[in-house]
Amino acid sequence: MADQHQPEPSPPGQTRPADPVPAPRPVAPAGEADRAAADAPAAAQSPQAGPGEGGGPAAPEPEAVPDTAAAPAAAEPAGAAEAGPAPAEAAAGGPGTTAAAGPEAADAATAAAPLAYDPWGVGAVETWQLDGQGGKAAGRRVVGLRHAVALGAGVALLAGGVGGWLGVLAERSSSTRLELPQAAVEGKDRAPDSVAGIAATALPGVVTLHVRGSGGGGTGTGFVLDPQGHILTNHHVVAGAKDITVTFSTGESVAARLVGQDSGYDLAVVRVDGVRGLKPLALGNSEDVKVGDPVVAIGAPFDLSNTVTAGIISATGRPVTAGGDKGDGSDISYVDALQTDAPINPGNSGGPLLDAKARVIGINSAIRGADKADSEKQSGSIGLGFAIPVNQGKRVAEELIRTGRATHPVIGVTLDMEYTGDGARVGTKGEGGKPAVTPGGPAARAGVKGGDVITKVDGTRVHGGDELIIKIRSHRPGDPLALTVLRDGQERTLRLVLGSADGS
């Protein structure tokens, strides 16, 4: 027997709207209907039950508050049941019915119990909104907030993954690729007088030398003189060498042999045999060089082959001495050098100094480095490089190729190298007690005497013995020379013809 709640009558003047009819449900077995009726009081005790139902605590008011006419029906006290037939409202599924023997009565009881929306509840619940006149509007299904958030996050992740995958597919399948703007390839040729043009012309004729001797190994530079395989370099590059290897700009390496060398000029010639297609460099004229002329140096500084640097001629006729490691002066070179600011470093020695027409005007030989005592200064180029003039190099190379030795121009005097005054003073005694002025020599024939101070060579002032030697060696044996000498406080000019002596 199912209990029925008697609804309170509506206040006078108001009529209760008909409740919507729930959708038909399957007919439950007889025993299950009784169990559903027995479970109703337990459901009424939950926090979602209306106020006063089942003796439990009152639930929060729903968001849609019914008017005063419908309030008594929503707050029907539990246990107010009467035996007998149900009123017409209950039979029709009205709000007063909580349980019935049949399926219709069960639906009516479910619809009559007001359900509050719990956003944290599990699953979806069915709720009703009041129409503002004590009745119920159409029902709707509300999804729990947690489930809605989880569902939204899942959809977002899925959409992002799908979008990324589609983007990757689009990028892979697209024929368009990222390409930054860039200048088009222009002509690769350069003006012949540009640094690039000069380098392109000269590099095939420049070589790198690797030498090994009893004292270790070293690296230098040289350049091809002729198709026969003669190569000019510095004496200090090959001095004491037992094995010499020449590497061309193409990377090909061959063995070389020493032809001749001279320490006084710091020049040497080596030769490679059996090499075809050699590219000899054209030789210029160092007499035409002017201060400010552009120059290009090629070499292998620190064994970096085919290194090209550029600069200008900083000075001409710069007296430079180098060597002197032996202590007896036999290895000192005297050079009337071309000075350049083109960077020259160890390994450049013997390489060509080229003019704007890619012609050799000098042989790179020495640099003025920073003071070694100052650790903060660089040990490489500081813009003071010196090259042997090609006119001197050409003469010496020709002699070395012909005879293996070079000749030095001499005047036939012994100089007082301890003299600190201006000019070069002729000694009073020569080496081993011999006369300071060689009898029958060029100076003796010109009237030079011991104690004379030579102040000028061909009108160019000299300030010491080294400068006098350098000026003399810049000439060939047999060349005429004018010396200005100071004797007894008076200057006089003496003319002579340079003699010859074998070099070392």
Active site residue 381: no
Q: Which of 230, 235, 236, 475 is catalytic?
A: 236
Please count the residues of the chain.
504
Q: Which of 286, 349, 381, 474 is catalytic?
A: 349
d(CA 58, CA 70): 18
Rg (CA), the chain: 57
d(CA 464, CA 382): 26
- Cα dihedral 195, 197, 199, 205 sign: negative
CA 258 to chain centroid, in Å, comes to 43
On the 0-12 / 13-18 / 19+ scale of CB atoms within 10 A, 386 is buried
- Determine the 3-state secondary structure of 335 from DSSP: strand
Active site residue 236: yes
d(CA 7, CA 134): 14
The per-residue DSSP string of 360-383 comes to EEEEEEEE----TT-TTS-SS--S
Please name which of 322, 226, 314, 208 lies closest in space to residue 267, comparing C-alpha atoms. Answer: 322
- Determine the 3-state secondary structure of 10 from DSSP: coil
Q: Which of 3, 19, 266, 452 is catalytic?
A: 266
User: Cα dist. 54→51, 80, 221, 338, 483 in Å?
Assistant: 9, 11, 111, 119, 140
User: Cα dist. 461→152, 409, 423, 453, 456 in Å?
Assistant: 99, 19, 8, 12, 4
d(CA 386, CA 311): 12
Please name which of 464, 430, 436 lies closest in space to residue 449, comparing C-alpha atoms. Answer: 436
d(CA 212, CA 215): 8
Q: Are 413 and 426 in contact (CB under 8 A)?
A: yes
| Helices 103-112 and 30-44, packing angle to 10 deg | 10
**Active-site annotation, residues:** 236, 266, 349
